[in-house]
Structure 1
Amino acid sequence: MSELDQLRSAPRRQRFSRAVLAGYWGDVVTAWRVPAVRRGLLATTLLFVGSLTPAYLPQNSPWWDPIRALGWDTWPAKVLGTAMVVAAVVLLVDAWFRLRPGLYLDFKHWAVGLIWSLPLLFAPPIFSHDAYSYAAQGWLLYNGLNPYDTPVSVLPGAFADQVAWVWRYTPAPYGPLSLQISHLMVIVGGLNPYYATLLMRIPALVGVVLIVYFLPRLAARLGADVQLAAWFSTINPLLIIDLVGGMHNDGLMIGLIIVALYLTHLRPDRFWLGAIVVGVAAAVKQPALLAAYPVALIGLPWQWNTSHVLNKIGRAAVSSLIAVFTFVAISLVSGLNFGWINALDVPGRVVTLAPLSLLGEGVRLLCVAAGRPELGSQIAGGLLVAGVLASALIVAYLAVTVARRRPVTFLSWSYLVIALLGPAMHSWYLLWGGLLLPLTKPTHRLQRVAIGVTSVLLGYGAGNLAWRNDTGIALGLAGLALIVTLLVRYLDEHRRASGEAP
């Protein structure tokens, strides 16, 4: 192109860029005009202010100086902060319910997520200390230590002091790419422990953007309910709070998995490209490797003949090998190798919401009361092992029965089984399979169960903060009661709208 042609085309490109930006801004303005969107922004603003509380702030946090200057380090201030968080969760759930009829049809899902996320961008980690662990592990790498071999307590100081005490003496269980990203964020943060922690939100936001952009498009290609996918998955309060607010590296893992599924649906013959993306996702967090199997099966209609079955088995083997090779290559290039194998039991060392973890802890306490603490520990450990074996058997069954026709459904259900029967379960673990659930074309009953679980987990998060803040459980129970009330009202209204019998 000549210089004259370039000059002639420049104004056109500028006009196009301005039109695109104007369109995006128009989507934001349209979303802002919806009362429930503004209510959600109020909720996340209250969540930000309420998070500046002793329950989740390390003693060396820079927030302590203004908090003490304002007199917020008193018990009444703790109660007020906790009340803000409880109110925030209730308001966010209410706003989420109210947005379902018009989301994606009348206003854009991404604009809603953007507006709701703004107050949380500079907030300290919400409802979890994991981001502080990421920063401390990046600090180990900066000092030439391998987090797979060295706990963060080896380097006492500001970085280690931010980490929850139970994780100060354990090796890192995360993938090598996740650790190197943490290393980069520590450097970009100027070796400041708090700034480095806030920067952990960048990879989490990258994952959220991938989810928001690709998941509705994937739903459309699968013939699933795009509006349900946009509502349940891209503006789910758990996604906003755990991935944007909590900065968990699960966000980047999930986003990459969705990209792999989408790329494979575009070109099933290039499934190897999706397998590479799965390998990269596994280098962030290892459970992503499971996605290599459904990636291989996408676009292959099932037929009961030897050549077709062998073709599927061959593609599954090739996809798995490519994903594993990518993961191994990243591990070797990172210089961290495979020390995470020694940390496989780390997530299960504390009692979580995992059903078998709770059951095991109950049995252990009964045995302690009966004077048999050793027996209690053995039973609790045995239950965790049994859960892992059971989940492996169920996933294998789904791989044979469901995956051959509905590979994405296999992945969603398998991740939910692994989260529920695994040794540890957190709300962000349920997002692995939960965000994919709308792609499985769930029944109305299953939708109601998923919405109910989401609501209860949000109530638990608010109640847990009330407990840690020494403000009693009354506020937490009040918040949970309000959420359940909203849930019942929403389910009743949705049932009537869909014409179902009560």
Structure 2
Amino acid sequence: MSARDLVHPLVLLRRFASDMGAAIRVGGVRGGLLATCLLAVGSLTPAYLPQSSPYWVPARALGLDSWWAKALGTGMVIAAVGLLMIAWFNVRPTIYVGVKHWAVLLWWSLPLLLAPPIFSHDAYSYAAQGWLVHNGLNPYEASPSFLPGPFADQVAWVWRYTSAPYGPLALQISHGLVELAGLNPYYSAVLHRIPALVGVALVVHFLPRIAILMNVDPRGVAWFSTINPLLVIDFVGGAHNDALMVGLVVAALYTAYRGRMFWALVLIGVGTAIKQPAILAAYPIAVIGSGWAGWHVRHLARFVVRLAYAFAVSIGVFCAISVATGLGFGWLNAVTVPGMIVTMAPFSLIGFGVQNLVNLITGDPNGQLIWKIAQTLGLVLSAAFVVWYAITRSRTRPVSFLAWAYLAFASFGPALHPWYLTWGGLLLPLSKPSPRVWRIAAALVSVLLVYDAGNMAWRNDLVGLALAAVAAAVIVLYRRYLRGHRPLAGLGYHDEEGEANA
């Protein structure tokens, strides 16, 4: 077969059909497909739908807003999460053994493409912010409540009165999607899967290739990162803009390993204009290929110049995009917005509990000082960890630095949602994790999915069902742990020594 034949559309179509057919013949893939089908159908329930959703009219006409319909929908979602976790473990040995990782992901993603946003209403907020831009308002200065109506009605009440914390390019993309949807509020939210899918495609395409460049087994990377249930549910199902940010960071790392530092930094600048944490990746990109041999003054001075160049280019691209969009830098006034609610962020959660106790004792129901101090302490400690890791390990382990830095900021910051852990979690297989870390990471994915499903189930007033499902999931996970389920054998990866000189 000639090289010309390889790119012929019919040849590509046959190869695509062959790879998809090979994947669906695997039981684990079919189990995951069943899970996402249940998830898509179960999402048509009050926990997941804003009151302005077009699904409400037929649901009420069919009597599907009853307690029993809520119970059925919640049960389907809980079952879907459990099935998807089991499928993820079961499909593990087949990756790259006759089954392509992208084909598995595509099968699992298909039912979610037209479903309402899963486990989060953030996509509705994106749509409302795009609606603001369409009407000549700056989302950094105006909240969705400035324009009462169906767009604002879709937004969760807590975010309806806050300005946007996202990058300016993300807001302009939302504006474009609102236009593409014909100014329809619901379809504007669903169309946010388009940039999310672009980010997912970048992750799926480049992460295994980075593994090869780093002399890391790509099978483990493909299994843990590209078909991870968090990626399927939160990136594809939830349509979070984190997906595009992570995809651009991964593409930038690959570009840096290919020796194109400038273009890697341009990608980081674009990613930062989507969501600001992308800027942290400028540091490891400066390390990759730097030849930073040691802590001699001459070597250090050369690297400092390279580092300054890296941040200058990345920040310069970000600033150029900010000016070009006409939205400016108003996001600086909204950096505290994500921390306004109680999430599972450890320091924020502890601080909130202590604050409530103090408020009870003092009789002041509005006190927030201790809560804010706890959030600040978490940020300071995470920053200290990042600086320590940068000094002690990043010279030879730049990707490990980025993975753990993202995980630290996500875990100890003022707000923590499951999809925040994908920032560093999807890079974790590139950092030579020990078998214990692999087990903890896989278990954590399961716990986060159970948390997501249970959290949304409570909104259906089904506390008992949610708790029972959580208990059942914990039992299943514990039994799987006892049976010795571990990630792929032979994942004692290359420890990135010499990575800076790759």
Q: TM-score per shorter chain, which class?
A: over 0.9
1:4 maps to which residue? none
Identity of aligned residues (%): 55
Aligned partner of 1:381 among 350, 359, 372: 372
1:164 maps to which residue? 156
Shift of 1:498: 5.0
- RMSD in angstroms over aligned alpha carbons? 1.9
TM-score by length of 1: 0.94
Aligned partner of 1:432 among 396, 411, 423: 423
Aligned partner of 1:285 among 253, 275, 278: 275
> Which residue identity does 2:21 align to in structure 1?
V
Deviations 1:103-152 (A, max 9, x none): 12330110000000000000011010100000000000000000000011
CA distance in structure 2 between the partners assigned to 1:359 and 1:181 by the alignment:
36
**In the alignment, structure 1 residue 88 sits paired with structure 2 residue 80:** yes
1:6 maps to which residue? none
Aligned partner of 2:468 among 477, 480, 493: 477
1:177–1:284 CA contact under 8 A, matched in 2: yes
Aligned partner of 2:319 among 325, 328, 333: 328
1:370 maps to which residue? 361
1:141 maps to which residue? 133
SS at match of 1:473: helix
CA distance in structure 2 between the partners assigned to 1:383 and 1:296 by the alignment:
33
1:463 maps to which residue? 454
Q: How do 1:285-364 and structure 2 match up within 5 A?
A: 285-304=275-294, 305-364=296-355
Aligned partner of 1:119 among 111, 134, 144: 111
2:173 maps to which residue? 181
Unaligned runs of 5+ in 2: 492-502
> Which residue identity does 2:57 align to in structure 1?
D
1:96–1:235 CA contact under 8 A, matched in 2: yes
**In the alignment, structure 1 residue 444 sits paired with structure 2 residue 423:** no
> Which residue identity does 2:378 align to in structure 1?
G
1:366–1:376 CA contact under 8 A, matched in 2: no
Unaligned runs of 5+ in 1: 1-8
Q: 1:180 to 1:407 in 2, by over 3 A?
A: same
Q: 1:499 to 1:225 in 2, by over 3 A?
A: closer
> Which residue identity does 1:458 align to in structure 2?
L
CA distance in structure 2 between the partners assigned to 1:499 and 1:302 by the alignment:
30
SS at match of 1:390: helix
Q: 1:15 to 1:316 in 2, by over 3 A?
A: closer
Shift of 1:24: 1.4
**In the alignment, structure 1 residue 260 sits paired with structure 2 residue 222:** no
> Which residue identity does 1:74 align to in structure 2?
S
CA distance in structure 2 between the partners assigned to 1:497 and 1:119 by the alignment:
28
Aligned partner of 2:407 among 384, 400, 416: 416
Q: 1:67 to 1:391 in 2, by over 3 A?
A: same
CA distance in structure 2 between the partners assigned to 1:375 and 1:472 by the alignment:
28
Farther-moved stretch of structure 1 (472-481 vs 256-265): 472-481
1:364–1:373 CA contact under 8 A, matched in 2: no
Q: 1:15 to 1:178 in 2, by over 3 A?
A: closer
> Which residue identity does 2:233 align to in structure 1?
I
Q: 1:100 to 1:39 in 2, by over 3 A?
A: same
CA distance in structure 2 between the partners assigned to 1:190 and 1:497 by the alignment:
47
2:292–2:299 CA contact under 8 A, matched in 1: yes
TM-score by length of 2: 0.94
2:14 maps to which residue? 22
Farther-moved stretch of structure 1 (368-377 vs 161-170): 368-377
2:500 maps to which residue? none
SS at match of 1:417: helix
Deviations 1:346-375 (A, max 9, x none): 000000010011101211221233234379
Q: 1:498 to 1:181 in 2, by over 3 A?
A: closer
CA distance in structure 2 between the partners assigned to 1:491 and 1:259 by the alignment:
38
1:71 maps to which residue? 63
Aligned partner of 1:271 among 258, 261, 265: 261
Shift of 1:49: 0.6
2:284–2:399 CA contact under 8 A, matched in 1: yes
SS at match of 1:195: helix
Name the count of aligned residue pairs. Answer: 489
CA distance in structure 1 between the partners assigned to 2:478 and 2:119 by the alignment:
22
1:460–1:480 CA contact under 8 A, matched in 2: no
**In the alignment, structure 1 residue 34 sits paired with structure 2 residue 26:** yes
1:406 maps to which residue? 397
2:499 maps to which residue? none
Shift of 1:14: 9.2
CA distance in structure 1 between the partners assigned to 2:13 and 2:449 by the alignment:
35
Shift of 1:376: 5.3
Q: 1:394 to 1:400 in 2, by over 3 A?
A: same
Q: 1:326 to 1:498 in 2, by over 3 A?
A: closer
2:220–2:488 CA contact under 8 A, matched in 1: no
Shift of 1:39: 0.7
> Which residue identity does 2:111 align to in structure 1?
P
CA distance in structure 2 between the partners assigned to 1:371 and 1:356 by the alignment:
22
Deviations 1:333-357 (A, max 9, x none): 0000000000000000000010011
2:221 maps to which residue? 229
CA distance in structure 2 between the partners assigned to 1:443 and 1:164 by the alignment:
40
CA distance in structure 2 between the partners assigned to 1:358 and 1:436 by the alignment:
26
2:92–2:488 CA contact under 8 A, matched in 1: no
Deviations 1:258-289 (A, max 9, x none): 0000001011xx31211110000000000100
2:220–2:487 CA contact under 8 A, matched in 1: no
**In the alignment, structure 1 residue 100 sits paired with structure 2 residue 92:** yes
2:393–2:401 CA contact under 8 A, matched in 1: yes
SS at match of 1:370: helix
1:210–1:259 CA contact under 8 A, matched in 2: yes
> Which residue identity does 1:39 align to in structure 2?
G
Moved over 6 A (4+): none
Deviations 1:455-479 (A, max 9, x none): 0011111111221101123334324
CA distance in structure 2 between the partners assigned to 1:26 and 1:482 by the alignment:
35
Q: 1:427 to 1:497 in 2, by over 3 A?
A: closer
Deviations 1:411-436 (A, max 9, x none): 00000000111000000000000000
CA distance in structure 1 between the partners assigned to 2:115 and 2:439 by the alignment:
31
Deviations 1:314-333 (A, max 9, x none): 11110111000000000000
1:138–1:184 CA contact under 8 A, matched in 2: yes
> Which residue identity does 1:354 align to in structure 2?
A
1:151–1:168 CA contact under 8 A, matched in 2: yes
1:363–1:380 CA contact under 8 A, matched in 2: yes
Shift of 1:84: 0.2
SS at match of 1:336: coil
